[in-house]
């Protein structure tokens, strides 16, 4: 499994902690930026870099982090094929995989602590999508909506 990670300055420290956590589990990571937590950086290009890594199949899942997780998840969701889920607890993370087949996890570094963040990451990456049932039909509807609205 390969994970693409991106953050702005506010999410940088938590991103590094998440990467250390994943490396310890032998999970391959690619940091798409920002490169430090000191210089103010827009979350937009880093959300887009993670989104493209997934849509171009260079990564299996993405993790994006900004102060709240809001701006970076909104941006990721502007990319066709991305289902980014902003999660503040493990249940949301599990359900975003089971029900929504989310392919990007968004975290708010100023909203949750690092212990909870790492638990959310593990919950997200270890939960499968419930393929073939009612949730598949809804994800198919999302994909059909993209076909209509993404030009
Ligand atoms: C940066 O100050 C902050 O606005 C950003 O990290 C994020 O919370 C935006 O959604």
Domain count, the chain: 1
Q: What is the percent of the chain with per-residue pLDDT over 90, rounded to a whole number? A: 97
pLDDT of residue 73: 99
Range of the domain at 116: 2-149
Q: What is the pLDDT of residues 51-70, one digit of tens each?
A: 999 999 999 999 999 999 99
Q: Residues 46, 62: contact at Cβ < 8 Å? A: no
User: Residue range 37-61: average pLDDT?
Assistant: 98
- List beta partners, residue 62: 4, 104
The residue-averaged pLDDT of 93-111 equals 98
Is 29 assigned a catalytic role? no
Q: Is 99 a catalytic residue?
A: yes
Q: Are 140 and 99 in contact (CB under 8 A)?
A: no
- The reported pTM is 0.98
Mean pLDDT, rounded, of the chain: 97
pLDDT category at 133 given cuts 50, 70, 90 is: confident
Instruction: State mean pLDDT over 28-41.
Output: 97
Tell me the CB-side half-sphere exposure of residue 67, using CA atoms within 13 A. Answer: 6
Radius of gyration from C-alpha coordinates of the chain: 14
Q: What is the CATH number of the domain that holds 83?
A: 3.40.1400.10
Q: Are the C-beta atoms of residues 105 and 90 closer than 8 Å to each other?
A: no
Distance 143 CA to ligand 1 centre (A): 28
Report how far residue 79's alpha carbon sits from residue 93's, in angstroms, rounded to the nearest whole number.
Answer: 20
Distance from the alpha carbon of residue 71 to the mean position of ligand 1, in angstroms? 6
């Amino acid at each position: 499994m390969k994970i693409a990670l991106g953050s702005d300055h506010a999410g940088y420290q938590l991103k590094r902690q998440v990467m250390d956590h994943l490396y310890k589990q032998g999970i391959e990571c690619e940091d798409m930026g920002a490169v430090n937590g000191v210089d103010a950086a827009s979350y937009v290009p880093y959300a887009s870099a993670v989104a493209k890594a997934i849509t171009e199949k260079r990564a299996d899942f993405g993790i994006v982090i900004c102060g709240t997780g809001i701006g970076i998840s909104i941006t990721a969701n502007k990319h066709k094929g991305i289902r980014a889920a902003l999660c503040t607890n493990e249940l949301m993370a599990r359900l975003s995989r089971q029900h929504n087949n989310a392919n990007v996890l968004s975290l708010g570094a100023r909203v949750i602590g690092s212990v909870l963040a790492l638990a959310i990451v593990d919950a997200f990456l270890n939960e499968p999508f419930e393929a073939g049932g009612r949730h598949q039909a809804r994800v198919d509807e999302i994909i059909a909506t993209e076909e209509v609205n993404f030009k």
